[in-house]
Amino acid sequence: MVEKRAIKFDSAKVTRYDRYSDTVYFDLIVKLNGIPQVLKKQFKLSESFEGLRDRMIDEVKEDFGGMNKRFDDDDDLLGSALIVMIDDYEEVEESLVNFFKRVKDKVRQFKSNKSADGYLNMYSSFDNIDYKF
C-alpha cells in the first residue's frame, strides 16, 4: 500500500540570533496530514536566499520521508512506497525567501545601529520575528 504524507507549511518563528557566529535559530511549524509538527532549524546569514529555501524544503522532505516506513508485506511491491507532497509548493518557496529576507533585513538594521539607546531591545526583538505562510 502506498503511504501519502501531505505537508503544509504553517509558520516560522525566530527563537534566537547568535551575532558571534551570525546564525539564526528558528522553529519551522508544519502540518503533517493536519497534525502540527515543530522542526528546529538554523541558518547562517551568509547563505543565499534560494540556497536556504532549497535546503529547508529538502530537509523537511527528508525529516518526514524517513520516519515510520512500513514494510508489512514482502510480496507487495508498493508496500514501502511513500509519497511526500508539499501543499502550495510555489507559495511555500516564495514565502521561505520572504522570511529569510525579513530576518536578514532585521539583522542589517541591528548591525547598522550606532546608538546605545535601545540596543538590548533591538537585540531581543529577534525573538519576535514570526512569519505565517
Model pLDDT for residues 79-132, shown as the tens digit of each residue: 567 778 888 889 999 999 999 999 999 888 877 776 666 666 666 666 678 889
Domain that holds residue 105: 3-132
pLDDT at 130: 87
Q: Could you give the number of structural domains in the chain?
A: 1
Among 58, 54, 129, CA closest to 99: 129
Look up the pTM and report it.
0.79
Task: Work out the mean pLDDT of the chain and round it to a whole number.
Answer: 83
Residue with cell 525529516: 63
Helix %, strand %, coil % for the chain, to 5? 40, 35, 30
* pLDDT for res 123: 63
Rounded CA separation 125/21 (Å)? 18
